[in-house]
Amino acid sequence: MYDLIFRNARLLDGTGAAATTGDLAVLGGRIAEIGRFDGTARATIDADGLALMPGIIDNHTHYDAQVTWDASLAPSPALGVTTAVIGNCGFTIAPCRPADRELVMRNLTQVEGMSLDVLRRGIRWDFESVPEYLDMLERRGTAVNVAAFAGHSSLRTYVMGEDAPRRAATTAEVERMRELLAEAMRAGAAGFATSTSPAHNGEGGVPMPSRLASDDELRALVDVLGDCGRGVFMLTKGGHTRVDFLEDLAARTGRPVVIAALLHNKTNPQAVFDDLAAIDAANRRGRRLLGAVSCCPLTMDFTLHSPYPLEGLGAWQHVLGLKGDAFKAAIAAPAFREGLRAELRAPAKFRLFNGEWDQVQVVQAAQARHRPLEQKSIAALAREAGSDPLDCMLDLALAEDLDTVFTATLLNSDEDAVGRMLNHPHSLVSLSDAGAHLTFFNDAAFGLHLLGHWSRDLGKMPLEEAVRRLTGQPAAVFGFADRGLLKRGHAADLLLFDPATVGRGAKRRVHDLPGGAGRLHTDAVGVHGVWVNGVEVADSTGLRAGQPRPGRLLRGGAG
């Protein structure tokens, strides 16, 4: 007798092959039969034409902190995710000495838009090294499967302390980082992640430690993956980091390189396609490079208390470390504003915000007299007032003690361009950032958005290919040998959904973080059930009661 049988399902196997109608049986957490077969089960679901696919593999999350207090990794399981890769960009919380915990948390508050109070209340620091952190994950259990990168900024901080974001590493320090990375890889880390992006700053605008690394330091660390013969190298790329340098790393180590974040910028529309062309050329030379792209427009809610969209601008760096009245005086100064305007007028290969004021709106005014401004763009408000848009936004924020909530659509708003990126042969659908930027945006439902908006509504990608992009392809990249496909013997990580309605719901704010802090949330649409290793973790109403923890720590992979 089987544990579970799905009857009459539209089977999407994760290979990109045409869908078939048939049955699937689960026994002992694995797929026991698929197609047409006889037999009984402890539970039977008549899918009645609903689609059954492998669970979504979210390869770019930041659940490293949240997983220590929330084993469900909410909201991802309810959104069809059955495997999450954490530690992206190198912003991990291990290794970490007790003396450095406050520094690490403060940096996460800035770079990943996390609440310091939430981190202080929530993180359970019962680990120091990467092996101890992985053991903790395995011991406590999780709702979904988890694979973890070893993070560059954490390695640097562990070895160099407060100097990590200030200077180049010595030869001895690089060698110590290599030893720690090798230890992490032996313990089962999924690979090595880093960032050279100028948008990635720690507390007070100080660069995240990985940004201080030289090319020689990066080569030495990525060589560890080559030495152990497995693991993925993941990098969030600054404009100065060239694809040919990353191709060289792939060539010398034989390891896959995932390059983030390739997002379309309407003010410099060709730049992302130049990067994808370089990635394509590298693959034709036998190097495994992939461009991490998003199927979601990058839209952020923010206040000037934490204006993440602006913090990558050079002119804004001068005010990042200021607080209270000093900060308000600085952003009111005419010289500061003119410098910001001049920077926005100048072309740039990549930046988050490009002065598209028609894409910035007032979401919520803090004062009743300003409520009529809500849901209007800054461009429109500036035209009505006869003022400059930058002045309009900053003056409104100052008048409301910085409490005005704005929203900005920053990148990926040109759907024709994004459709081309999604269908590029060497792109990897990614960049949900689940677990981070909780007050700014929530793209954890990226997979449902690909299935509904891009495949069904726009017809930009066949459903079978959309499923492959979310399952079979990332499983192959990360070496999850028994996941990502509907195949006999594979893990029963499954998503049952209605292709006619699947998608992501409207964003709303919930208050379920430690201390009752709020975050943006998105509900699933059209999801009927999610199973991890054969155990149902979510149904049409959301996460199952009791928070089952059938997920496994996926040690190793990508051999």
Beta strand 30-35 with 20-27 is: antiparallel
Contact yes or no for 516/90 (Cβ under 8 A): no
Q: Can you state the angle between helices 171-187 and 152-160, rounded to 10 degrees? A: 130
Of the pLDDT bands very low, low, confident and very high (cuts 50, 70, 90), residue 437 is confident
**Phi and psi at residue 389, to the nearest 5°:** -60, -40
Contact yes or no for 231/257 (Cβ under 8 A): no
Residue 419, pLDDT above cutoff 50: yes
**Region of 162 on the Ramachandran plot (φ > 0 left; ψ -120 to 50 alpha; else beta):** alpha
Q: What is the pLDDT of residues 441-488, one digit of tens each?
A: 899 999 999 999 999 999 999 999 999 999 999 999 999 999 999 999
pLDDT (0 to 100) of residue 348: 79
pLDDT (0 to 100) of residue 422: 98
Of the pLDDT bands very low, low, confident and very high (cuts 50, 70, 90), residue 49 is confident
Q: What is the DSSP string of 230-283?
A: --EEEEEPPTTS-HHHHHHHHHHH---EEEEEE---TTSTTHHHHHHHHHHHHH
Determine the residue type at 93. Answer: I
Kindly provide the residue ranges of all beta strands, DSSP E only, lying in 55-165, ordered along the sequence.
56-58, 81-86, 145-151
Residue 211, pLDDT above cutoff 50: yes
**Of 62-71, 201-210, 412-421, 471-480, which range is least confident?**
201-210
Contact yes or no for 352/410 (Cβ under 8 A): yes
Listed in sequence order, the residues at least 6 apart from 248 whose beta carbon sits closer than 8 Å to its beta carbon are: none
Beta bridge partners, 512, equal none
Q: What is the pLDDT of residues 327-357, one digit of tens each?
A: 999 999 999 999 999 999 998 777 889 999 9
d(CA 191, CA 555): 10
Neighbours of 399 (CB within 10 A): 15
Listed in sequence order, the residues at least 6 apart from 377 whose beta carbon sits closer than 8 Å to its beta carbon are: 357, 358, 359, 360, 361
- Return the SS3 of 157: helix
Contact yes or no for 451/500 (Cβ under 8 A): no
- Return the SS3 of 176: helix
Q: What average pLDDT does range 67-81 have in this prediction?
A: 97
Instruction: Dig out the tokens for 262 from the structure.
Output: 């390739």
Residue 559, pLDDT above cutoff 60: no
Residue 117, pLDDT above cutoff 50: yes
Q: What is the pLDDT of residues 538-557, one digit of tens each?
A: 999 999 988 899 999 999 86
Of the pLDDT bands very low, low, confident and very high (cuts 50, 70, 90), residue 149 is very high
Tokens 């030289």, residue located: 214
Instruction: Dig out the tokens for 166 from the structure.
Output: 């200030």
d(CA 87, CA 59): 10
**Of 270-274, 337-341, 397-401, 518-522, which range is least confident?**
518-522
pLDDT (0 to 100) of residue 205: 82
Residue 558, pLDDT above cutoff 60: no
**Of 5-19, 20-34, 258-272, 491-505, which range is least confident?**
258-272
What percentage of the chain exceeds 90 in pLDDT? 89
**Region of 42 on the Ramachandran plot (φ > 0 left; ψ -120 to 50 alpha; else beta):** alpha
- Return the SS3 of 429: strand
Mean pLDDT, rounded, of the chain: 95
pLDDT (0 to 100) of residue 350: 75
Kindly provide the residue ranges of all beta strands, DSSP E only, lying in 281-417, ordered along the sequence.
289-293, 298-302, 360-364, 405-411
Report all structural domains of the chain as residue ranges with CATH numbers, in order of start. 55-297+412-481 (3.20.20.140), 301-409 (no CATH)
d(CA 147, CA 48): 34
Kindly provide the residue ranges of all beta strands, DSSP E only, lying in 77-198, ordered along the sequence.
81-86, 145-151, 191-195
Q: What average pLDDT does range 157-173 have in this prediction?
A: 97
